[in-house]
A and B are shown apart, each in its own frame.
Chain A
Amino acid sequence: MSTPVTGLSLGLVVCGRCRATLRAAAGHARCPRCGARLHARKPHSIATTAALLITAALLYIPANLLPVMHTHTFFSDEDDTIMSGVISLAQQGSWPIAILVFFASIVVPLLKLLALGEIVIAVSRKSLRNAQQRSRLLRIVEFVGRWSMLDVFAVSILVALVQIQSLAIVDVRPGALAFAAVVVLTMLAAQSFDERLLWDANTRD
C-alpha cells in the first residue's frame, strides 16, 4: 500500500473547532474562520489524557465502594452504593430500568477507563496495527460517556423531591461526588486525546 497522503505531509492543518482545512505555511496562530487556536496535533495530548485517566481510575474506587445516597425513613436507615441501587431496582421488578442503570453507571465508566487506557498505552508504545478498531472504540466511548451522568441526575432529583420530614429523607453521600468526578474526568480525557495519533504511527510504517 502506498503511503497515505496526510495533512501533515502536505503542510495543511485542520482547525480543531470549525474543521476548516488551512495552509500551515501561512503561519496562522488562530483559525481565520472561527478564531480558535490552531495546532497540527493537540499539544501534550497523551500526557493530558493519561493524567485525567489515572485520576479517574483512582476515583473510580471510592465511587463504587462509598455510598452515593442515604435514605432515612421511619422503618429503616439505608446506605445505597451505585451497585446496591441497581440491585434494589431489580428486586423491585423494574428490570428494564435496572439494566439501563447498570449499563450507564457500571459498564460504561469501566469501558471508558479500560478502552482509553488501552489506547493511551498503545499510542505511547507506538506499536500500532489496529488503528481502525481503536478509532471506532474511541468514538463509542465519546458517544456513550455522557450517559453515565444518569445516576448523578437521578440522585439530584430524589434529593429535591424527598425532603418531607415526616416521610423520608434522602441525603447525598460522598460516593456520588467521586462518581460525578469520574464521569467528568473520563469525558475530558476522551476529548483531550488526539485521534490522529492513532493514525500517525500507521503512516510511519
Chain B
Amino acid sequence: MSSVIVCHACDLAHRLDEIAPVARVRCVRCRAELYRTSAATLDTAIALAASALVLFVLANAYPLVALKVNGATRVATLTGAALGLYNQGYATMAVLVMFTAILVPLAQILAFLYALVPLRFGKRAPAQRTLFRLLAALRPWAMAEVFILASLVAMVKLAAEAEVTPRIALGAYGLLMFTLTALGSITPTEQLWQWIERRHA
C-alpha cells in the first residue's frame, strides 16, 4: 500500500511505497524528519518513565548543592531555586524556572505513565489524545539539561569564595535528564500514535 506523506517543514509531498517497521525517513528537499519510529517497546517506555518518576522525587526531596562557609552549611533545593526568585519579588522569573525545570518534566513523566500504562493493557486512558498533543507541545520547554549545566556554572562561580559540594539531588537530576532524553528519543510522535492505533485497530 502506498501512502502520501507531506513534509511538515516544507510542504513537499512524498509517496512512500512501503515503510519498514522501524524507519527514519527524511524529506528529500529540506532534510526535515518526515517519519520516525523506534524499535523500542511500550514496556521500555514505561520502564523509563517510571525510573524518571523515582529520580524526579529524589531530585526534589534532597538538596542539590551545599555551600560551606565558616562552619555554617547552606543548601539549595530545586524548588528553593525558584522560591528564591519569588522572595526577591521576581515572581515571573520564579514561575519560568518552576515551569521549565520542574513542572514540565513532571508533566511529561505523568502524561507518559497515564497514557502508556493503560495502553499496555489494551485500554485507552480518558483524554489520551489531548495528553499526547500536550506532550508534543511541551517538548521544547523541558529544560533539565540546561538546568544541570547552570548548576555547574553556579558552583564554579562560588568555588572561588566558598566550599561548594554537589549533593544527591544534583546526581538524581542529572540521571533524570538522561532518562528523559532517552524516553523522548524512543517515543517520536509517530511512534506514540502507532502504539495507539495498533492497540485499537
Contacts and interface: CB of A to CB of B under 8 A. Distances in A.
B190 to A, nearest CB: 7
Contacts of A8: 11
Interface residues of A, number: 69
Interface in B1-19: 3-13
B97 interface: yes
Interface string A1-31: 0001111111011101111110000000000
Interface stretch (B38-46, B109-117, B118-126, B135-143): B135-143
Contacts, number: 198
Contacts of A177: 90, 92-93
B11 A6 contact: yes
B132 A14 contact: no
Contacts of B193: 18, 20, 33-34
Interface of A: 4-10, 12-14, 16-21, 33-36, 73, 85, 89, 92, 94, 97, 100-101, 131-132, 135-136, 139, 142, 146-147, 149-164, 166-168, 171-172, 176-177, 180, 184, 187, 191, 195-196, 198-200, 203
Interface of B: 3-13, 29-32, 64-65, 67, 69-70, 72, 74-77, 80-85, 88, 90, 92-94, 96-97, 100-101, 129-130, 132-133, 136-137, 140, 143, 146-147, 149-154, 156-158, 160-162, 164, 189-190, 193
